[in-house]
């Protein structure tokens, strides 16, 4: 059986081993207060709580986790704190769910804590289905014990003895690290019966999801664990009262759980000193797209977008102009360049029509067509809709069809209004969060880039020059009539006499761009417009 003394012994034995390893690899700085940070400007500009052990400890060795104070919060809580105190601390910390909606975790736990039942469950949502998101994956693969400890603390607080981690099967490495971590925790007695000699018992099982985005939605996830088709349930009662098998159930995100042990190690005041009043702490973002340094960044909430994109991300690739950033994945919105000073926290993003979501952040440059971006995200939603409710099943498909027509140059007068009407219905009438947020990319791009929609529909032009169907290759008067383009054209639609200006037959042109490449650079007579 594990005891507090045994935990301390392991720490004292393992800490020097870990430090020696880090020194040898020269990848991290060990601060005087004992904290360890990865070297390099990219990391030093971040504030890492959820990712604090990532890249530092060996995820396959529980002793490494213990060497960085792992499981000390759980031990302290089980020895010294009542369940009510944990709930109070969680509420005071105002930790908000990192899975998307930002619901205060303490309040959620309190609901289950107060609801009497013979069995309660803790679930960790590790389904991470947003395209381009890999925050949770990184935590699971590099610091699985933080999630287990967070779940155990929650289990103690609400009175649950059983936990499930619902992890997508497309994360085989995460599944493996979790398996090993659970096994090692069981062996040491940190999971199982009478943990630290108390009457608290808690165990965790894995459940694999098979890649449906909607199974990340809490009630669909529960249906899936119950062995049913992953479709959201209508909520007559809240999940914290009647969830998995109709028992009180807490569902939290991976990153949310990873924050929990640190809050109890360092205290509520410390946690609240980071981030903003209403959104304390940090958030991990997957910064991707046309940005110089793509990767995971963890920053205090409230940091302006500009700092994330420019100071940490190093700005737009190839010196191109910044156009917009999409936050929150397919449920989020596009934020235009003139709002780049918006602080990134739940309230501020909500105000401008986007969401924090799980932390996707896609940077777009001047060559990105905003209509096409809306189409791209909607295409994802249409694929992933579960098909249960009418607005989402039928409505998103109609929106996608309209957008596909617009980018193909077949947009009609009135399409924007149709999109707005559909957005309204889908947002207000859909059953679950997937449908309720599906229109966000469309709504925000219409709001901030309406002129691009109009250019596509009325002038049949793509201002960003990205929609294949709408670009035209055109030979200007600079043409010297060398014929290089005509020889390069695979469909032979360029004609013209020697030393005369050539012309492209627009009806036959397949827009491959071969002419533009063939035209001698000194001449550059072919333009794309």
Partner 1 sequence: MNIIINGIQYEVEKGITILEACRKAGIDIPTLCHDDRLEPSSSCRMCLVEIEGSKKLVTSCSTLVKENMVVYTHSARVMEARKEVLDLLVSNHPMECLTCAKSGKCKLQDYCYEYGITEASYKGARRKPKIDTSNPFYDYDASKCILCGLCIRVCDELQGTSAIGFENRGFDVVVTTPFNEGLVNSKCVSCGNCVSVCPVGALTPKKQTYRHWETKKVRTTCSYCGVGCQMDLVVKENRVVGVEPANVVPNDGLLCVKGKFAYKFINHPDRLKTPLIKRNGKFEEASWDEAYRYIRRKVNEIKEENGPDAFAGLTSARCTNEENYLFQKLFRAVIGTNNVDHCARL
Is residue 70 within 8 A of residue 146, CB to CB? The reply is yes
**Which span (124-132, 415-423, 464-472, 510-518) binds partner 1, by CB under 8 A?**
415-423
Residue 126-165 contact track with ligand FMN, rule CB under 6 A, x = bound: -xxx------------------------------------
CB of 437 to ligand SF4, least distance (A): 9
CB of 216 to ligand FMN, least distance (A): 2
Q: What's the CA gap between 197 and 194, in Å, rounded?
A: 5
Residue 216-245 contact track with ligand FMN, rule CB under 6 A, x = bound: xxx---------------------------
| 42 in contact with ligand FMN (CB under 6 A) | no
Q: Choosing among ligand FMN, partner 1, ligand SF4, none, which partner's interface includes residue 229 (Cβ < 5 to 8 Å by kind)?
A: partner 1
Residue 422-451 contact track with ligand FMN, rule CB under 6 A, x = bound: ----------xxx-----------------
CB of 170 to partner 1, least distance (A): 16
Terminal-to-terminal C-alpha distance of the chain: 72
**Which span (105-113, 182-190, 271-279, 382-390) binds ligand SF4, by CB under 6 A?**
382-390
Residue 93 vs 256, nearer CB to ligand FMN: 256
Is residue 464 within 8 A of residue 470, CB to CB? The reply is no
Q: Choosing among partner 1, ligand SF4, ligand FMN, none, which partner's interface includes residue 252 (Cβ < 5 to 8 Å by kind)?
A: ligand FMN
Q: Choosing among ligand SF4, ligand FMN, partner 1, none, which partner's interface includes residue 98 (Cβ < 5 to 8 Å by kind)?
A: ligand FMN
Binding residue for ligand FMN (CB under 6 A) from 59, 100, 243, 313? 100
Q: What's the CA gap between 426 and 406, in Å, rounded?
A: 20
Beta bridge partners of 28: 38
**Residue 262, both tokens:** 């640190």
Q: Choosing among ligand FMN, ligand SF4, partner 1, none, which partner's interface includes residue 429 (Cβ < 5 to 8 Å by kind)?
A: partner 1
CB of 492 to partner 1, least distance (A): 36
Beta bridge partners of 296: 286
Q: Given the structure tokens 């952040």, which residue do they identify?
A: 361
Q: What's the CA gap between 188 and 185, in Å, rounded?
A: 5
Q: Given the structure tokens 């994945």, which residue do they identify?
A: 329
**498-512: burial string, b at 16+ Cβ within 10 Å, e else:** eeeebebeeeebeee
**Which span (122-130, 296-304, 381-389, 473-481) binds ligand SF4, by CB under 6 A?**
381-389
Nearest to 95 by CA among 105, 81, 109: 105
| 422 in contact with ligand SF4 (CB under 6 A) | no
Binding residue for ligand SF4 (CB under 6 A) from 214, 286, 462, 515? 214
Residue 170 vs 404, nearer CB to ligand FMN: 170
Q: What's the CA gap between 69 and 20, in Å, rounded?
A: 17
Q: What's the CA gap between 24 and 22, in Å, rounded?
A: 5
Binding residue for partner 1 (CB under 8 A) from 281, 330, 395, 483? 395
Q: What's the CA gap between 160 and 180, in Å, rounded?
A: 22
Is residue 529 within 8 A of residue 474, CB to CB? The reply is yes
Backbone phi and psi for residue 206, each to the nearest 5 degrees, phi listed first: -95, 145
Residue 335 vs 389, nearer CB to ligand SF4: 389
Q: What's the CA gap between 37 and 473, in Å, rounded?
A: 52
CA–CA distances in Å: residue 436 to residues 353, 373, 393, 433, 475: 13, 19, 12, 5, 47
The helix (H) or strand (E) run that includes residue 402 is: helix 396-407
Binding residue for ligand SF4 (CB under 6 A) from 46, 326, 385, 444? 385
**57-67: burial string, b at 16+ Cβ within 10 Å, e else:** bebebbbbbbb
| 262 in contact with ligand FMN (CB under 6 A) | no
Is residue 403 within 8 A of residue 442, CB to CB? The reply is yes
| 388 in contact with ligand SF4 (CB under 6 A) | yes
| 430 in contact with partner 1 (CB under 8 A) | yes
Nearest to 146 by CA among 54, 270, 46, 43: 54
**Which span (77-85, 260-268, 386-394, 500-508) binds ligand SF4, by CB under 6 A?**
386-394
| 248 in contact with ligand FMN (CB under 6 A) | no
Is residue 361 within 8 A of residue 340, CB to CB? The reply is no
**Residue 190, both tokens:** 């940190």
Binding residue for ligand FMN (CB under 6 A) from 101, 206, 337, 523? 101
**Footprint of partner 1 (CB under 8 A):** 212, 214, 229, 231, 234-236, 382-391, 393-398, 401, 418, 421-422, 425, 428-431, 436
Residues of this chain that bind ligand SF4 (CB under 6 A):
214, 232, 385-389, 392-393, 430-432, 434-435
Residues that bind ligand FMN (CB under 6 A): 97-101, 103, 125, 127-129, 213-214, 216-218, 251-253, 256, 358, 432-434
């Amino acid at each position: 059986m594990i005891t507090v003394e045994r935990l301390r012994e392991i720490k004292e034995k393992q800490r020097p081993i870990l430090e020696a390893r880090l020194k040898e690899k020269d990848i991290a700085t060990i601060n005087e207060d004992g904290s360890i940070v990865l070297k390099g400007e990219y990391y030093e500009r971040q504030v890492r709580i959820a990712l604090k052990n990532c890249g530092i400890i060996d995820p396959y060795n529980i002793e490494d986790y213990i060497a960085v104070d792992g499981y000390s919060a759980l031990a302290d809580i089980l020895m010294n704190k009542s369940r009510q105190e944990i709930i109070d601390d969680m509420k005071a910390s105002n930790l908000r769910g990192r899975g998307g909606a930002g619901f205060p975790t303490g309040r959620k736990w309190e609901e289950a804590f107060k609801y009497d039942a013979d069995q309660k469950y803790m679930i960790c949502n590790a389904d991470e289905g947003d395209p381009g998101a890999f925050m949770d994956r990184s935590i699971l693969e590099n610091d699985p014990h933080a999630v287990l400890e967070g779940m155990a603390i929650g289990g103690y607080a609400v009175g649950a003895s059983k936990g499930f981690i619902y992890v997508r099967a497309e994360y085989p490495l995460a599944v493996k690290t979790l398996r090993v971590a659970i096994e090692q925790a069981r062996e040491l007695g940190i999971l199982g019966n009478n943990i630290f000699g108390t009457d608290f018992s808690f165990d965790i099982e894995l459940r694999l999801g098979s890649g449906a985005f909607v199974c990340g939605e809490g009630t669909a996830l529960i249906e899936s664990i119950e062995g049913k088709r992953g479709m959201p349930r209508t909520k007559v009662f809240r999940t914290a009262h009647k969830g998995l098998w109709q028992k009180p159930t807490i569902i939290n995100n991976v990153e949310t759980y990873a924050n929990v042990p640190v809050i109890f190690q360092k205290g509520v005041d410390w946690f609240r000193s980071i981030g903003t009043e209403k959104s304390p702490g940090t958030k991990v973002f997957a910064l991707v797209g046309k940005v110089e340094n793509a990767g995971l960044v963890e920053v205090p909430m409230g940091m302006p977008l500009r700092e994330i994109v420019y100071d940490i991300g190093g700005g737009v690739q190839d010196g191109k102009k910044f156009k917009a950033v999409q936050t929150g994945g397919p449920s989020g919105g596009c934020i235009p360049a003139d709002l780049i000073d918006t602080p990134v926290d739940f309230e501020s993003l909500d105000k401008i029509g986007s969401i924090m979501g799980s932390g996707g952040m896609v940077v777009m440059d001047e060559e990105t067509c905003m209509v096409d971006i809306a189409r791209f995200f909607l295409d994802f939603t249409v694929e992933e809709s579960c098909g249960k409710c009418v607005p989402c099943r039928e409505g998103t498909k109609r929106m996608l069809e309209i957008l596909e027509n617009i980018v193909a140059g077949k947009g009609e007068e009135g399409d924007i209004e149709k999109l707005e009407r559909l957005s309204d219905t889908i947002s207000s009438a859909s059953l679950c969060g997937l449908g309720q947020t599906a229109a966000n990319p469309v709504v925000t791009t219409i709001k901030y880039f309406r002129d691009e929609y109009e250019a596509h529909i009325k002038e049949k032009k793509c201002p960003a020059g990205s929609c294949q169907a709408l670009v035209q290759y055109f030979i200007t008067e600079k043409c010297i009539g060398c014929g290089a383009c005509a020889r390069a054209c695979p469909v032979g639609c360029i004609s013209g006499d020697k030393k005369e200006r050539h012309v492209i037959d627009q009806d036959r042109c397949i827009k491959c761009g071969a002419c533009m490449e063939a035209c001698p650079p000194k001449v550059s007579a072919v333009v794309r417009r």
